[in-house]
Amino acid sequence: MPDSIDLKLLRVLQSEPSLSVAELGERIGLSHTPCWRRLKKLEADGLISGRNVVLDADALGLHITVFCFIRLKQHDRASMEAFEEGARAHPNILQCYTMSGEQDYLLRVVAGSVKAYERLLKKDLLSLPYIGTLNSSFAMSEIKNSSILPI
């Protein structure tokens, strides 16, 4: 379990991932070496799983965000693993969640336009293994999109 210094380090790091170890240490009150050691331990313990650059999808021409609710034809291990492998491999699928309730999966998909999504749906999404039904909901606007955990 992380201590208060680790939590402080994680808070700063998740909001400013490009800080150098020296800058990070300065922000949390540690010198370079102890800060580096804590970072390495947090990575080894799996609390830090990577660092990402956040790109603006709209500025890059990916104007459409679609949430796809998926129900599989059958519910066995092989069909679920095959579907999940297909979802992981598709670049337009940014997130995939196993769900409780009526739907089996929720996907967050990006596309350049409604027409581009329609082509993607017909060509790729509906050919993912074992799909029984797929329902799409288009996001009208983005109110909040954060990867900052409340620690």
Distance CA 80, CA 86 (A): 10
Q: What pTM, to 2 d.p., does this model score?
A: 0.87
Q: What is the pLDDT of residues 49-100, one digit of tens each?
A: 988 888 999 999 999 999 999 999 999 999 999 999 999 999 999 999 999 9
Contacts of 28 (CB under 8 A, 6+ apart): 5, 8, 9, 12, 35
Q: Which domains does the chain have, with CATH numbers?
A: 4-44 (1.10.10.10), 64-138 (3.30.70.920)
Q: What is the pLDDT of residues 6-62, one digit of tens each?
A: 999 999 999 999 999 999 999 999 999 999 999 999 999 999 998 888 899 999 999
Distance CA 3, CA 5 (A): 6
Give the DSSP per-residue string, 37-67. Answer: HHHHHHHHTTS-----PPP-TTTTT--EEEE
